[in-house]
Amino acid sequence: MPIYKAIIENKEIVKIIYALIIVFICFLITLKAHRLFRLSFHSGIRYFRNAFFFYGLGFAARYFLKFISADYFLINPLFEFFLVMAGFFLLYSLLWKRIDSHNPRSSLLNRRIGIFYLMAIIIILLDYVWNVPYFMYSAQIIIFLFASIISYSNYKKDNYKNKFSRFYFIAMVLGLFAWILNALAAVFFSWNQMVLINIYLLNAIFFLLFLYGVVKVTKT
Amino acid sequence: MVKKRERLEVIKDILKSIREKRNIKPTRLIYASNLSPKMFKEYVDELTGKQFLKEEIDKDGKKTFSLTSKGQEFLEQYRVIENFIENFGL
């Protein structure tokens, strides 16, 4: 297809534009969620904000750090760490009420989040030692599988009537699908360029859906 | 059984009472917020600490509460916050 050919031929520029868009979306979501957190001190909003803050950091590290440092062994673990932590924060924003009713002083440095940091570091170390990204992919697939189940149960709880619950569920399934495709691309398709473009597209839709939801809800 | 009020709803009720009555006295605010004195103190301490409301002394030397600009902003944004939490399942 000519569009795929054009993208592949200009992949470096496309990657930078893609990263700029994702980082910008994450920045907007983080800012809007932070504004609401500053007023409500609500833990769920706080973890949701942290998730997109870490997604933004991850994409910025992956695509922009290479202009400062070309060290793949520094950039890739950082990218993986931020992405795994973002996934944990997103999942925890849905779960925290069932696990932890108290509001910790810091949402970045507390005992429960410390467990996530430890798990993220273990995942990165395993990938680093074996020089594969499989542990991160497995972790993300598990995280998004749980998040999809929880968001479906929220959608069901609203008698399938809440448009936003449906959007949230669709976004989570897209996220899950993108990570499964990522794993398949690594294991079976030897990083086929066309498959990678589709993954980028799915990721962009995932972030755009969240931005749409956040802008729509915060619009007064 | 009556549903337990969520923390944010309690805060909204306290701040709304202050906005409606302006410099409201503690006894009237306890009554209006429908909380036990112990819970009321916890909430008022938290809201004062976070600068949503401030304590003042009126001309009779009695303690009153009034809303700060941050408390005002909370009330204006309450519906948005509530929708955000509900729609994203937080």
Report the CATH number at residue A58.
1.20.1070
Structure confidence by residue, pLDDT tens digits, A85-131: 999 999 999 999 888 767 777 888 888 899 999 999 999 999 999 98
Structure confidence by residue, pLDDT tens digits, A184-217: 999 998 888 999 999 999 999 999 999 999 999 9
Q: Name chain A contacts of B83, Cβ cutoff 8 Å.
A: 217
- How many domains does chain A divide into? 1
**Percentage, residues of chain A above pLDDT 90:** 69
CA distance B44 to chain A (A): 15
Structure confidence by residue, pLDDT tens digits, A8-33: 899 889 999 999 999 999 999 999 99
- pTM of structure: 0.91
pLDDT tens track of chain B, all 90 residues? 445 578 899 999 999 999 998 889 999 999 988 899 999 999 999 999 999 999 999 888 899 999 999 999 999 999 999 999 999 999
B84 to chain A: closest CA residue: A217
Give the integer Cα–Cα distance in Å for A165 and B61. 52
Residue A70 has pLDDT above 80, yes or no: no
Buried b (16+ CB within 10 A) or exposed e, B35-50: beeeebeebbeebeeb
Residue A177 lies in domain? 2-218
Indicate the residue of A36, A154, A165 with minimum beta-carbon distance to B80: A36
B19, two tokens: 């906005």
Contact A213 B8 (CB under 8 A): no
